[in-house]
Structure 1
Amino acid sequence: MKKYIAAIMALLFVLSPVSARAAASFTLALSVDEVQRGEEIQLSGTVTNNAKDVVVKIIRPNQTTFYINAITPVQGSYTAKVTIPDDKDFAPFGLYQVVAGSDNLTETKNFKVIDPNGGGTDPTDPTDPGNPTDPTNPGNPSNPGDTQPDDSGSGSTPTDPNTIPTNAGKTADGIVQPEKSTDGRYLLGSETMNQAIQQAKDSVTVQLPAATGDAGTALELPAKSLQDLKDKNLDLILTYENSTVRFPASAISASGEQQSRIRIDLNTALTSDAKSLLNQSLQSNPDYKSTGVILSVEIKLITGDNAVEIHHLDKPAVVTMALTEEQEKAIRSDLAGVYHVNGTNVEYVGGTVSKGTFTFTAEHFSYYTILEYNKTFADLAGHWAAKSVQSLAAKQIVEGVDEQHYEPNRSITRAEFVTLLMRTLKWSGHTTPQAGSNPFSDVAANAYYTEQVTGAASLGIVSGYNGAFRPNDIITREEAVVALVQTAKYFNVVGANKAEPAFADTNDISSWAAAAVNQAWSKGLIEGDGARFNPKSSVTRAEVAVMITRLLPNGSL
């Protein structure tokens, strides 16, 4: 799947609003030239028989992305139907551009979303320059030509779409409020950004209107400002309502040319197109359930009429999105996680939830969503560990031996156990320090568990036996508890404050494990069978799932 994503990303870099001539083997056709809101338009075309997927984008009149999809050709042709939403914010009147590409070939077509009452403009949209009710419109009798910028940010700044006024926006103490132009973009000028950079301590925060995410609004700022932020080691934070996207300094690679600008589009609305993309990604796996929470982020570097999309970030961005009260109540936090959606499949990203917000890191941008993964196994029906396994499967920490079976009673090796602990640490967001040389003589350089075992050793979770790790030995309960207690140091485990355990076989516990067994009992990480600890017995896959679940905080994605 990673190869597929890489191919799509590479293709998207060449899909710009600029028309490109394609060979006769690749074509694009539209069913109509004009369409009204609520109606449907069909895209179709031909490809060579061995062509890869066709990436189709539709760009709104204000240059934001209206639709994106990856279509698999069938017998040399491809097709897709797109419904134009009734909402004027998502489907403004005007000229739309369709760009389709495959195997470095592209074709471009245009269509219009028209007003059935005529005129081609939206009489209810005060930001439409053709609207006579717009007080900033030069043709409005009540305003004889006043087109000066309005500091209120009400959308009165008439600008050349290829430039940004140097004084666009306002700043105070490193917090910037952009200025809205007549075509609906939010602009930040170079002088305004320079002031903000001089005022800032560790970041520049851009405050966007609360409805920014719902409306899919575009923010534009000079590309050179990103270089200035990098030079000062300042992060760029975008905020709207209770949500934020934080780009570390130098996260976005961009030219420092004076005439280049960066456009960032944010959209949190579950539009019909987003639903279509999501449904297409989930159709092959019924274990996933959509929660309706989605985020689309699109970044472009624009120079003149040329636009290049930036998908991969040099440093991961941190995204925090607020959930509505209804969303928070509806989402099962033990089964939920953040996923990247690519139109064919979904890729687990992770994430944590706290006080009605979810947070995750993104190394690249397109569509992200919260899904519930409700994986069940036939051999766990009614099992005492079923809930723990289900929760850990949703976090991609444990997996079945096949699609239908988990084998809860099978013993687990030392390498397998440490791999699960390290997956849990990775899920929690903990970064493993750079490991030194492999400390174990019996851990091969190319084994599946090598990175996890050496990482665990560098964190003090495991130490081995006289230079050996014994990766394929079945792990004993006392060995597992020692590693579990060391791992618990990296989690906020609230102790149960129980008295020392009264196991009948306490004398059978090795001296090097006794303190860890007492700590694990006190913290509520183990319980034993009620009378004995059985320190030399093996640990089953069911028991491991329950142990690891007790490490994790309640209400975590």
Structure 2
Amino acid sequence: MKISSFKKWLTGTVILGLLAAGMPAMAGMPTAAAAAAGEGQGQADLAVGSYVQFGAYNGAPVRWRVVHHNDSGSALLLAEHIVSLKPFDADGDGLEEDVQRHFYGSNDWERSNLREWLNSAAAEVAYTSQAPDNFHVAASFNDYAAEAGFLHGFTAGELAAIQPSANKVYLSAADSGRKQAGTAVRPWLGATLEEAGQADPQAYFHTVTDRVFLPSAEELLRLLVAENGWSHLRMPTGEALVQSEYKNDSLLTGSSPWSYWLRDPYAETSYGVRVVSKEGQVVTAHANSGAVGVVPALFLKSGVTVAAGAGTAAEPYTISWSEPQEEPGQPEEPEEPGQTEEPGQTEEPGQTDPGQAPAGSSGPAATPTPGMEEREVQLGASAVKLSDETAPDGKVTRIAELQGDGLKTALLSLEASKGGQAAAAVLALSEAGADAIRVHIPAPILAAVPDAALHAVLSVRTETKSLDLPLKGIPVTALARQWGVEADQLRIVIVLRQAEPGAQEQIAAQAAALSSGRLVSEAAEFSVYAEAGDKRTELEPFGGMYATRGITLTAEINPAKATAVRYDPASGKLIFAPARFTSDGGKTIAKIKQTGNGVYTVIQADKTFADIETHWARQEIEQLASKLVIVGVGGDRFAPEQQVTRAEFASLLVRSLGLPEQSGGTQPFADVQAADWYAEGVGAAVQAGLLNGFEDGTFRPGEAVTREQMALVIIRALGIVGEEGEAGAADPGLLASFADTARIQPWAREAVAGVVQGGIMTGVSEQRFAPETAVSRAEAAVALARMLQAAKLID
């Protein structure tokens, strides 16, 4: 696969590691002995193995198979096909409590969107947390916030025939406070169903009562495979294929198995959910992934009888059921999950129905610009109030204050973007006669932005500068609560201006000191902060999201040698900032992706080393050296074959992704001291979730990085920059070509498959991947360059 197509693979395919060989074909009807096992359990007609047509989804009947009877005689039905492709849970909740869940959704079945949808018969599901709309699911695939509940197509009699059941659900470490039993987080155990389906009596769990639920790995292993010898693979229905927006995989057809959710969390994370892959393995996916199928299960009440049919796949049973008259001791049917208010949960202030016109609006404040790749809308004159403020030194600041419902109306005028690209509300301002631009955004205006638009950006643009601020990364409510002020007392401020003369001089000197170094743009300062009265705080890193800055260049460049840089006033150094270069109206613009405030500029250099003149990795080494990502070892040497240590790799990763280093504070590792040159890089890499320490409390900075370790960290990095790398699926056949596949550790297999398929790493030969071999400096440079290209952070 070419690098240019890697993003499509990452965002389109979201299952981790599909590495198994093909599974046997689905079994037919059970033997006479197996069918007889259902006799005498209260539903003699609904023998195990029977097919039942029960309910409808989107107008199509749902076909189930009886897989078990419980001690009360209730038949357990499991859908014979994948009925739909849907995310397990939306992202967007709990930024302050759990950043990973905020960006990838939650793996808590009890509070998931999918559970609420499966158990709802309403025409519009009332979700208790962030609804799974287009802007809160990965790559905008298969949102379902506006869809009726799964049970909406069931008749009143069918709904009455469903027996609510209490099911065991494992808990991740993040939810262990709600455990009913258990002493530890459930470990991975393994990728085969035989491994993943083993009971774990030590694991945290609780019970959750549902009408409709997802199967667990234990239930699939015990009821389908062990007791009946059936396959656990499932194919999507034709309706599921038509409905799905995810169509990027040639194997997603009605004649081949596809992946589907389990209710089991990948308990070592707060956002990973276990999934049965299309090959039958038990892997994991981010909860907000939209390319995973739904295979529901439910119990029928014990009084159900057959009305018609033969119980075969071609002629399934239909059933009938009558409510018993005041049967003593019969449990009440529980309320649908999500319909009751959770303790302490309050409505977000200022939210309104995005489908309604804003009150008091005299008309639209903006007009959409059709046909643009990124859907944009210009904020009109009624949306902003302009004024100039002159300081005692004569410098003029142009102030633009957003007004009324202008931003909200502009965003509502955009259609939902389906391509994973954010919509932009553009505020175009002129720099003529001004030394700085300052934009004021009153907090109530942000609070009124509809949920569906929170993935949009506010793009402030001048003739030479721009800043695209992701609305999702502005914690208005949290700040107001933290400061003890009302929301209407708080505002967000965006400032764009030239850097101070002293900074300009130091930047020019630093650029000139580089090999063939020169400035190719002005140095511009970008800052975003919140203020309320005498309180003020810098807003970075925008909730972990990249805020794109634009700088117009003043000279021609070679994109392979030019780079954006951030000026560090404390050290006076220039630090690499991820950027790509675009042309617009004859001008070249650097689009800088960075998570924090500061002074930025663009330079060009031409760095090489004496010991790489004929080296196979020369091009990538020179590219990253010219961009200030990598440095030599001294004496004009790069030492391409020298091994990379964990300390070096941590620093390389943090620098290449443009992440802020974690300075000061106590180091969490016994073998990393604050004075160590790599301490800040290690701290940033660990905080970002790229690298971990060891169980003994050490980081082992001097230990060499292996090839399989590098593969895993690269996939994590791609996930951090929004490419859903950790959730990308890979062709399992890729690893089969390596004779040493068995030597790849289970925790690294999906990552290795991913980087190989993405063209980021290759084998050391056609037959060997060499997973345990230490990574050389040259290999690390090539892999990082390809990773940055795949993530569209460099050209």
**TM-score normalised over the length of structure 2:** 0.35
Q: Report 1 or 2 for greater relative contact order, CA contacts < 8 Å, sequence distance ≥ 6.
A: 2
**TM-score normalised over the length of structure 1:** 0.47
